[in-house]
Amino acid sequence: MTKNIQLSASLEDYLETIYLIVADKGAARAKDIADRLNVKAGSVTGALQALTKMKLINYAPYELISITPEGQEKALEIIRKHETLSDFFENILGVNSDIAEKGACEMEHAVPDEIIDRIILFSEFIQACPKCGKNWVDRFQSYTQKLHLSSSESCQTCLEDTANRHKKEIAKMTDETEPQTLLDIKPGNKCIVQRVKRGSSASKRLAEMGISRGTVIEVERVAPLGDPIEIKVKGYHLSIRKNEAVNIIVEQQ
């Protein structure tokens, strides 16, 4: 329903201000609004009446002003637009924060929802997509200062850098989805227990035998038939089956 209500730029400013004051103090008075927006108290009344007519606020002369659910939704939408724009200006385009704030204040009323949504997606994309990444924005920043692209030679190094970075990130991603377990440690190597997977009924037994967070485990050997494995922990030898070892999350030393 709120989507259909078209507000003028100044009414949007009023609604935004009322929302902020209500959030701050619980209720707003005409005088507070006039002070914040730096206008005369008289012109406030007209705007309040207009907003009341649109059922965005509850207002009667000489009473405290509160905001209706519809008004709240509308106000949040305006604030979101404002923040998205100022964010985009400051973090991606690299404009200083005062100018970004001012630009956002003016543009928030004019920019259609669709464009705002796209800007949000675009900002997310730049930060999330490994192909662009933070580095990409940084390079753009330096470009804005030098106003020219680097030479073709450094374009090559750039691409190599990017490729390397991608490789590392790929490794990190697979690492995060499947953490290293005791099973991944080759005989003769040591590792430190990060944690024992919860829910495995064995976790108590393991803890009693001295295997818990921080324990150093040395993998000694795998049995001739491939299972179980022999480990050394706290100076003694223990045999553990592979389907138990997989529950012990470790970091190779």
Partner 1 sequence: MQNKKLTVAIAGNPNSGKTTIFNAFTGAKQNVGNYPGVTVEKKEGTKIYKDYQVNLVDLPGTYSLAANSVEEVVARDYLILEKPDVVINVIDSGNFERNLYLTTQIMELNVPMVLALNMADIAEKQGFTFDIAKISKFFNANVVLTIGSKGSGLNELLDAVIDKANNPGNIDSANLINYGDDIEKELDKLSSVVNKDHTLAQKYGRRWIALKLLEHDEDILSKEHNIEVLEAAHESASKLDKLFGDRPDVVIAEKRYGFISGVHEQAVKHTAQRHHDISDTIDTFLLNRAIGLPIFFLMMYLVFKLVFWAGDPLMGLIESGFGILSTGISNIIPDGHLKSLIVDGIIGGVGGVIVFLPNIVLLFLAISMLEDSGYMARAAFLMDRIMKKIGLHGRSFIPMVIGFGCTVPAIMGTRILEDKKSRFATILILPLMSCGARLPIYSLIIPAFFPVQWRGFVMWLMYVIGIILAVILAAILRRTILKGQSGIFLMELPPYRMPTLRGLSIHVSNRSWLYLKKAGTVILWISIALWAATVYPKPSAESLEGLTAEQVQQAELEYSIVGRIGKTMEPVIKPMGFDYKIGTALLGALAAKEVFVAQMGIVFSVGETDEESDTLRDKLKNNYNPLQGFCIMLFCLISAPCMATLAVCRRETNWKWAIFQFVGLTVIAFGLTTLVFQVGTALNIGT
- Return the DSSP state at 149: P
Stretch of 4-12, 110-118, 136-144, 232-240 contacting partner 1, by CB under 8 A: 232-240
* Cβ nearer to partner 1, comparing 42 with 226: 226
Stretch of 3-11, 59-67, 112-120, 195-203 contacting partner 1, by CB under 8 A: 195-203
Q: Phi and psi for 149 in degrees, rounded to 5?
A: -75, 160
Radius of gyration (C-alpha) of the chain in whole angstroms: 30
Q: How many residues belong to the site for partner 1 (CB under 8 A)? A: 34
* Cβ nearer to partner 1, comparing 87 with 230: 230
What character string, x for contact with partner 1 (CB under 8 A) and - otherwise, covers 63-102? ----------------------------------------
Minimum CB–partner distance for residue 123 and partner 1 (Å): 34
- Classify 81 as helix, strand or coil: helix
**Residue 151 found at the interface with partner 1 (CB under 8 A):** no
Beta strand residue intervals within 25-177, DSSP E = 57-58, 66-67
**Residue 208 found at the interface with partner 1 (CB under 8 A):** yes
CA angle 132, 133, 136 (to 5 degrees): 65
Residue from the set 164, 239, 252, 253 that interacts with partner 1 by CB under 8 A:
239
Residue type, 214: G
In angstroms, the CA 134 to CA 94 distance is 13
Residue from the set 20, 37, 195, 249 that interacts with partner 1 by CB under 8 A:
195
In angstroms, the CA 63 to CA 37 distance is 19
Minimum CB–partner distance for residue 110 and partner 1 (Å): 49
**Residue 217 found at the interface with partner 1 (CB under 8 A):** no
Residue from the set 48, 191, 240, 250 that interacts with partner 1 by CB under 8 A:
240
Question: Omega of the bond prior to 228 within 30 degrees of 0, cis?
Answer: yes
Stretch of 73-81, 136-144, 169-177, 198-206 contacting partner 1, by CB under 8 A: 198-206
**Residue 62 found at the interface with partner 1 (CB under 8 A):** no
In angstroms, the CA 167 to CA 206 distance is 36
Contact 208, 239 (CB under 8 A): no
* Cβ nearer to partner 1, comparing 18 with 191: 191
Interacting residues with partner 1 (CB under 8 A): 195-196, 198, 201-210, 212-213, 220-228, 230, 234-241, 244
